[in-house]
Amino acid sequence: MVPSPADDDSADTPAHPRATDGSVATLSEEELYAIVRVATEDAVLGALGTLMLVGIGIVLAAWGAALLRSATPLPAAIGVVLVLFGAYLALSSLRMIPPVREWI
């Protein structure tokens, strides 16, 4: 991978101090590139993580539904737990319900 111009941190020298007023107009090209690169990477990783958690939730709910069809009570109870956890995982990943950390 080719390092970005911001990786060598040439803009943070005594001759060229970083902008502290928060204005985009005073940022150099290297700083803007670094900011956009990090923001894009965060967005892509966030989207992939959400898709992965929704997929895991769907698989868990499907396994739980398969266990619900059993005639014995223990696998049916485990199936209920898996269906509920899978549904919670998928819905909280999509931010349709709040995550547990907001309940406490």
Model-wide pTM > 0.85: no
- The confidence score (pLDDT) of residue 3 equals 52
49 burial level (CB within 10 Å; 0-12, 13-18, 19+): exposed
Residue 17 has pLDDT above 60, yes or no: no
The alpha-helical segments, DSSP class H, found in 13-98 are 29-68, 73-93
Tens-digit pLDDT profile for residues 1-16? 445 555 555 555 555 5
Tens-digit pLDDT profile for residues 42-90? 999 999 999 999 999 999 999 999 999 988 999 999 999 999 999 999 9
Residue type, 34: A
